[in-house]
Amino acid sequence: MSRRQNQPKRKGRQPKAKLPMLRNIPSFPGQPMAQHIVETFNEVFSTTVTTGAIAEVTPMDPTTQITNWATRFQSLYEEYRVVKAVARVLCFSSTNPGTLMMFWDEKSATVPTNAAASERALVRFNAGDVTRPHKTTWVARDLLDLQYTPTGTASNPVYWKIFTNNANNGSSIVATAYCTVDFKLTIQFRGFQT
């Protein structure tokens, strides 16, 4: 008898159970769901005369950021949630372009400071770089962010923030348009209005 025949049989790998992701489970079987990628309106950011500062906060609330939300989505769907947001910044040429910093903040709507922006900036770039857009993306991971909200109710899952100033970042102390930003929100909807 060969040595191989005397060895105990190895158990094969057990397949992993495929569990549905929490965010993909409807409240009851057969409930309709939909997903849309929607652009919001553009914003232009300008420096101040005295400090060369841009310190802005933009909430990712689709009920206010998306034109005609009530007629386009609220009248059709019962609930929604924002699962992804993309900010795309396009800069203009400037004599003293300076460094722009942008980041996402899930907790606070407070206007950014240089210290906060320096610590948390996801993207830093020279405002004089007009050759390409600069992009940053936020994806919902928190269970509270993944809960659905009635389409008639505002929801701010995250805030987008941008900062620069003359003292720390070399921006211009002339009031001038520095950059424009547009946002794309990926929104999941659940249930139709009856």
Can you give the CATH number for the domain in which 188 is found?
Answer: 2.60.120.20
pLDDT band, very low/low/confident/very high, at 6 (cuts 50, 70, 90): low
For the chain, how many structural domains are there in total?
1
pLDDT(21) > 80: no
- Res 1: pLDDT: 53
Q: Does a structural domain hold residue 25?
A: no
CA distance 42 to 88: 10
Under 8 Å between Cβ of 81 and 150: no
State how far the alpha carbon of 45 is from the alpha carbons of 97, 118, 181, 193, in Å: 13, 19, 8, 38
For the stretch 8-20, what's the b/e string if a residue is b when 16 or more beta carbons lie within 10 angstroms of its beta carbon? eeeeeeeeeeeee
Q: How many other CB atoms sit within 10 Å of the CB of residue 49?
A: 12
| 1 is a domain residue | no
Q: How many H helices and E strands in the chain?
A: 5, 10
Task: Determine the residue type at 169.
Answer: N
- Quick check: is 22 in a domain? no
* pLDDT tier for residue 23 given thresholds of 50, 70 and 90: very low
Contact 149, 63 (CB under 8 A): no
7 domain-assigned: no
- Domain range for 107: 32-192
